[in-house]
């Protein structure tokens, strides 16, 4: 089964009908049939950006029903995210983005659903491998 990593932007767009990317993200999700994976750092960023419990709660219920998988990141992964944040300090790379890089390395997935095209077009995985943006 195909796996796509999910960044914060599409999650905010899905949750908020007022977001300019809402319709595009809803349409993409309606046609996608694979596994969606994100991290707790992304979900935390989403919670901060979505603005209200009323907006976030239906989204959390969607996750509960299996709409999105959350990858746990422990101490070793945190240490690795720090290395990535230091490497891309000139961007700067935030914790959510770094956690997705670690998720990509852990599951062997380079496809990412993001609205943050500039950053994920810049980040390089080992071997200069690029993310595939969807």
pLDDT digits (tens, 9 = 90+) for 74-126: 999 999 999 999 999 998 899 999 999 999 999 999 999 999 999 999 999 99
Domain ranges, residue 99: 3-133
CATH of the domain at 53: 3.40.50.1010
pLDDT at 1: 83
Confidence bin at 9 (pLDDT 50/70/90): very high
Model pLDDT, residue 103: 97
How confident is the model over 9-25, as a mean pLDDT? 95
Q: Specify whether the CB–CB gap between 119 and 112 falls below 8 A.
A: no
Pairing of strands 111-113, 124-125: unpaired
Mean pLDDT throughout 63-73?
Answer: 95
How many domains in the chain?
A: 1
Model pTM score: 0.94
Residue with tokens 């960023």: 45
CA dist list (Å): 89 to 82, 104, 115, 116: 10, 19, 20, 16
Q: Is the pLDDT at 54 greater than 90, yes or no?
A: no
pLDDT (0 to 100) of residue 53: 87
pLDDT band at 55 (very low <50, low <70, confident <90, very high): confident
């Amino acid at each position: 089964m195909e796996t796509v990593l999910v960044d914060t932007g599409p999650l905010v767009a899905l949750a908020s009908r007022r977001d300019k990317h809402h319709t595009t993200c809803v349409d993409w999700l309606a046609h996608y049939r694979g596994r969606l994976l994100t991290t707790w750092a992304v979900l935390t960023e989403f919670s901060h950006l979505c603005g209200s419990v009323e907006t976030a709660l239906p989204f959390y219920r969607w996750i509960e029903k299996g709409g999105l998988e959350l990858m746990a990141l422990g101490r070793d992964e945190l240490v690795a995210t720090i290395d990535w944040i230091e490497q891309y300090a000139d961007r700067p790379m935030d914790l959510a983005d770094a956690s997705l890089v670690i998720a990509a390395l852990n599951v062997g997935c380079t496809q990412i659903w993001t609205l943050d095209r500039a950053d994920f077009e810049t980040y390089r995985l080992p071997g200069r491998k690029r993310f595939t943006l969807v």
